[in-house]
Structure 1
């Protein structure tokens, strides 16, 4: 279960906090809706729960805060918006990349794709997916590590009715299998449609925490919507007729020619208009929203109803095929017009939650067939759910249940905070519009055995990340083409040493094309993480773990070495084809030249990775690579070229002379070669830059942990 305790956001300047002392619980086996209008604090609450935003309070997921869980993705699946993936990456490639990051087998991607219905689109690019398909992919990413808890922020925004119904069925199925679901929404009718429990926020505070049936009874009221050019006259006639018949009817005018009539039916309103010769442009049943404050037990004012009821969804009685809730016998008026509200049945979208028994004052609706099968049933067969009736509370006469319906299962729920011992009971439902029932949803199979964490997990993730898009291949092809063309031009001009000719490194350029390409690929390793944060969904930012950095440096080194070898091979082949074999002869000091060439390209790649990780930008990473020969090399050369205070020989000269001590087995030769490489201005500047960037990366990582 989820326990949110005292969540409070940090206020900005003189403004009150967006979330102030929010506390609630989401139980196992239930779908909990976090309801609130835009600006009520739903998203801020979810971000505080997931520790994505700084604030006060704590949230426990099965007894542990998120930062104390070793692998948060295995406990909480998160969907807070669109899928943060590279638009050029395929659907299957994106999921396989996340499989490597989560430590689950790669076949899990195909299982999740089949569960969410994206098997036919597995080769499509993320940038080409529609809104509904993107939501399906987001749910697939959340279900990928097989989490116990799902946290979603308004997942049905912008979706069609069929996509919403499918998503709600998936959430109910996850809860039925022993999971916990917390979903934010702004529509009260949506909350009663899919949730078992509703937590209402208003102004950053919890104003109601109740079962879905109680929420529907206290906040949603059936009414009749009328549009007529003579709305004022019709309002007076309806009021006079209700007074003469001693009925509790409330007429609210919502501006213009629109009337909302509570406590009446379409037949009565239409008959009144017909008898008095009033033209009616619209006559429909509707479910009115009484506002967030109604959930706390307060009756809304007439002006508040008029302001909030404009967001209701029309339910045309002619297209239902179901009994109308307004057609039930109405109770007699006793004191105030609001007395009809206490005896009215819940709206068409109301749904009850599994509970041990009804609360005092609970007046359920008539038993009806649920058009949606429960997750515990193997086939989508209709299941009736008769609701109990309290003797102390008068209720409308229930409609007879269909003859083909079977008896409902009894409710079996553990004590408060426990796990249900059996599948969740069927929810009491109220009449809904007749819809076509889609096929039953199925969740992906559970992950029974998780492989132990290995150092290869981040390496596999980085390999799939780099190979999943065509950017790396395009950069490599451009580097090879530019290097070959530059080598041919330099050979034609002449006056270029052979090592620089093979590397396609003109004297006028600070770095060869291969080094620039390796630096760009290294900068993309972290730049794409911040631009398309696939790993930051449940963390808020790109993780700075040592294993991920090591994997990126390792893969960048392999890429740089491959690019260096291919560059020399391609330029040598092109020079041989154009000018013959005299330009591609192997130099005598080729081991030292090869080591220097590899060190230069790898150093540029490392500098790009570290700079992009520090500054969170690909452009900053590439700029750090270019700054080494332009800024750092002159500074290092100026510091090392002059004589030292203790001797006439400069520092770089002493490094070239080697070590005064001799090591056994000839080990000093390799060390002397390394020192001579560092004695060069470019080598020393590159080593100094990489060391400084590594310290800066460690500092930023420690600072983020302290926060």
Structure 2
């Protein structure tokens, strides 16, 4: 059971709230449609239910608000628009990354690819997917944790008739297994055809909450669709006879040779055409709203059908000519009841998509109401994929497990799943090698700067810049492509995800630092020989300096992007350390008399009452000298300020809810 109580969005300036005191429920085992025109507040209502937008009210998922659900991915699956994944990530990599965030095994990604018919395009990048495949991937992402409730924002928008039929069949299967399905739509015929209950919104307020049968009877206007080469003549005849008989009949010209007759039936229209010698090409009863506003009206106001939501309201959405076959009055679908036959105008493809027709199953012709663009047409690899296996019963699936390594696995898969990571690493190595060879040629650059590839004109070495850039990408991609925010499996503001990003960034920075030194050293030996490269006596201090600088820049990139929610801000935070903060600190520290640190390790041993070796004393002194340098002080201060700003911004965002 999904219960939304008193949902009210925060109004902006002098405008009314997008959602105002909305209360409704979506029952398990049924499909509920949230219906309304564009701007009615449907998407805002979903975001309020998911706590993605500030406002008042509460939503209970089987009796618990979302912030009290221990495993959100097990409770609710979300699809808000297109799949918010990095366009360079492959389909399988995207699902495996989300599997780590949800806490399910990676093999679940392959199972969901088979279920939605995308196993043949698992290596295709997300940015190249057509609309139909993108929507299938979104459904696979929403179903990863086997959630009880599905919340979808206009899932059938822009899809062809065949793809829409497949999508709603999948939603029906989820409801028949005992799940709750809530989706938004702007098409009343779509709601009457595919939903069990229709909740109608207008300007953010509840207009009606009806069973689909009652909705079809009271909100959809029955009409007679006529196609004739003498449309104007027949319209005049029908208008004249209706006035003579004093019947409330309305004739609307649909354009060309088509007209719609309201308040009459096929027999009456056919007899009038026969008496006046009018040739008819089509004569059929239809149910749906015409949406025609510019056609000439032959009679007065249309006949009202009664009910809480009459046909003269908002719902004219454009006549498509599709035939809607609502369930007979008094026979609504119940939870667990098998679904009646789908109307011929929307005959669905098999559960695996178009693949079933490729396997030899004949598929009836589908009279499409429009010709979809090439981007919406399923690509050949999907049709060659095997038929999707039916989803197993919900009770037999393994529940997501909770582990402290979940965010670490997610971050590692996120890092390795995009081409920017190897490109940055290779670019850093090549630039460092070239700079090291050029700096060693002059003979005036110190050996540590040569091995780091750090010319005097550059504020930072390439390794530090690369580590900071990768760190900035770690949070910049989270906010640019918010896959976690809508999935509710983990959100970027959670402490566990921050610690995972800092840990992975430190490891990546350390690996990059080692690779740069090794590559530069081998390049120097290859070009100039190994005898000219002595080992410095203070190599522990130099190593501490090097690793501290690279790791600190990586952390600055992570925290900067996390605070300002942009990768560019993370890079700016990295560059601000040597350019903005280090010069004034260098001048400040140069005027302060230094104090001898010779006895610092002994004092630390005495204070901590711990004994360590003389080698540990050298590492302690090296770390102290690193922190005591102007760049080290500036980096430590920058990290402290960014960490405090991150914590405060996270607390402030929670307080707004």
Q: TM-score, normalised to structure 1's length?
A: 0.79
Distance in 2 of aligned mates of 1:247 and 1:435: 41
Q: Which residue of 1 aligns with 2:294?
A: none
Deviation string, structure 1 residues 172-228 (Cα, Å, up to 9, x no partner): 111111111111111111111111111111222211111111111112233123467
* Cα contact 1:52–1:539 (8 A) shared by 2: no
Give the structure 1 partner of residue 61 of structure 2: 61
Matched residue, 1:311: 318
- Per-residue CA distance 1:31-79 (angstroms, 9 max, x = gap): 1111111122211111111111111211111001111212222101001
Residues 580-619 of structure 1 mapped to structure 2, 5 A cutoff: 580-619=529-568
Separation (CA, whole Å) in 2 of partners of 1:250 and 1:39? 33
Matched, 1:524 2:473: yes
Do residues 562 (structure 1) and 511 (structure 2) align? yes
Per the alignment, residue 621 of structure 1 pairs with 570
Higher relative contact order by CA 8 Å / sep ≥ 6: 1 or 2? 2
| Whole-angstrom CA distance in 1 between matches of 2:619 and 2:179 | 60
- Over aligned residues, Cα RMSD in angstroms? 2.9
Which has the greater radius of gyration?
A: 1
Which residue pairs with 2:81 in the alignment?
Answer: 81
| 1:665 to 2:612 alignment | yes
Aligned to 1:699: 648
One of 432, 443, 449 as aligned partner of 2:391: 443
User: Which secondary structure state, in structure 2, belongs to the residue aligned with residue 522 of structure 1?
Assistant: helix
CA apart distance, 1:434: 8.2
> How much has 1:106 moved relative to structure 2?
0.9
Structure 2 CA distance for partners of 1:296 and 1:40, relative to 1, 3 Å: farther
Whole-Å separation in 2 of the counterparts to 1:121 and 1:633: 50
Distance 1:657 1:634 in 2: 29
Cα drift, residue 704 of structure 1: 1.6
Pairwise mapping of residues 99-138 of structure 1 onto structure 2 (< 5 A)?
99-138=99-138
The answer (yes or no) to whether the contact 1:656–1:675 under 8 Å persists in 2 is no
Secondary structure of the 1:510 match is coil
Matched residue SS, 1:314: coil
Given that 2:165 and 2:346 are in contact with CA atoms closer than 8 Å, whether structure 1 keeps it comes out as no
| Residue aligned with 1:223, SS | strand
> After superposition, what is the alpha-carbon deviation per residue over 1:206-259, rounded to whole angstroms, capped at 9, x for unaligned?
111111111111122331234678766534422454577x69662233587764
Report the alpha carbon displacement of residue 572 of structure 1 after superposing the two structures with TM.
0.9
Matched, 1:252 2:251: yes
Question: How far apart in 1 are the matches of 2:202 and 2:413?
Answer: 44
- Deviation, 1:693, is 1.4
User: Residues 435 and 673 of structure 1: is their aligned pair in 2 closer, same or farther, counting only changes over 3 Å?
Assistant: closer
Answer yes or no: is the 8 Å Cα contact 1:219–1:290 preserved in 2: no
Give aligned pairs, total: 599
The separation in 1 between residues aligned to 2:490 and 2:145, in whole angstroms, is: 19
Confirm or deny: 8 A CA contact 2:541 2:619 kept in the other structure.
no
In the alignment, the residues of structure 1 paired with residue 483 and residue 327 of structure 2 have an alpha-carbon distance, to the nearest angstrom, of 36
State the partner residue of 2:71: 71
Shift of 1:283: 5.4
Please identify, of 91-100 and 447-456, the stretch whose mean Cα deviation from structure 2 is larger. Answer: 447-456
1:289-322 per-residue CA deviation (whole Å, 9 max, x = no partner) reads: 289x978535445xx6xx965613214xxxxxxx
The verdict on how the C-alpha distance between 1:457 and 1:433 changes in structure 2, with shifts beyond 3 A counting, is closer
* 1:433 to 1:558, Cα distance in 2 relative to 1, 3 A: closer
Distance 1:227 1:629, change over 3 A: same
- What are the residue-to-residue correspondences of 1:536-575 with 2, within 5 Å? 536-539=485-488, 542-575=491-524
Please say if residues 220 and 290 of structure 1, whose CA atoms lie closer than 8 Å, have aligned partners that are also in contact.
no
Partner of 1:169: 169
Cα distance, 1:556 vs structure 2: 0.9
1:150-182 C-alpha deviation (Å, 9 max, x unpaired): 011110001111111111111111111111111
Q: Aligned equivalents of 1:290 and 1:536: distance in 2?
A: 38
Q: Is the 8 A contact 2:186 2:317 kept in 1?
A: no
Q: 1:619 to 1:205 in 2, by over 3 A?
A: same
297, 308, 323: which one pairs with 1:297?
A: 308
Of the structure 1 ranges 281-290 and 577-586, higher mean CA displacement relative to structure 2 is found in 281-290
Kindly indicate whether the alpha-carbon contact (under 8 Å) linking 1:504 and 1:512 is maintained by their aligned counterparts in 2: yes
Aligned mates of 1:583, 1:268 — CA distance in 2: 104
Distance 1:509 1:444, change over 3 A: farther
Q: What are the equivalent positions in structure 2 for 1:229-308 lying under 5 Å apart?
A: 234-241=234-241, 250-253=249-252, 259-266=259-266, 268-273=268-273, 275-276=275-276, 285-289=285-289, 296-297=307-308, 299-301=310-312
Where 2:484 maps in the other structure, the secondary structure is: coil
> Aligned pair in 2 of structure 1 residues 309, 200: CA closer, same or farther (>3 Å)?
closer
Give the match's secondary structure for 1:175: helix
Is the alpha carbon distance of 1:300 and 1:113 closer, same or farther for their aligned partners in structure 2, counting shifts above 3 Å?
A: closer
> How many Å apart are 1:9 and its aligned residue?
1.7
Q: Closer, same or farther in 2 for the Cα pair 1:661/1:308, shift >3 Å?
A: closer
- Cα shift at 1:431: 6.2
**Which consecutive unaligned segments of at least 5 residues does structure 2 have?**
292-303, 353-387, 606-610
CA distance in 1, matches of 2:186, 2:597: 70
Counterparts of 1:472-551 in structure 2, within 5 Å, are 472-539=421-488, 542-551=491-500
Task: State how far apart, in whole Å, the 2-side matches of 1:255 and 1:506 are.
Answer: 74
Q: Distance in 2 between matches of 1:295 and 1:259?
A: 24
Does the 8 Å contact 1:290/1:309 carry over to 2?
yes
Does structure 2 conserve the Cα–Cα contact (< 8 Å) formed by 1:603 and 1:686? yes
State how far apart, in whole Å, the 1-side matches of 2:236 and 2:452 are: 92
User: 1:349 is matched with which residue: 309, 325, 329?
Assistant: 325
SS in 1 for 2:582: helix
| Larger deviation, residues 695-704 vs 664-673 | 664-673
In the TM superposition, residue 91 of structure 1 has moved relative to its aligned partner by 0.7
SS of aligned partner of 1:25 = strand
38-47 or 170-179: which moved more?
Answer: 38-47
Per the alignment, residue 155 of structure 2 pairs with 155
Q: Does the aligned pair in 1 maintain the 2:93–2:413 contact within 8 Å? A: yes
Q: CA deviation at 1:25?
A: 1.0
Counterpart Cα distance in 2 of 1:74 and 1:102? 8
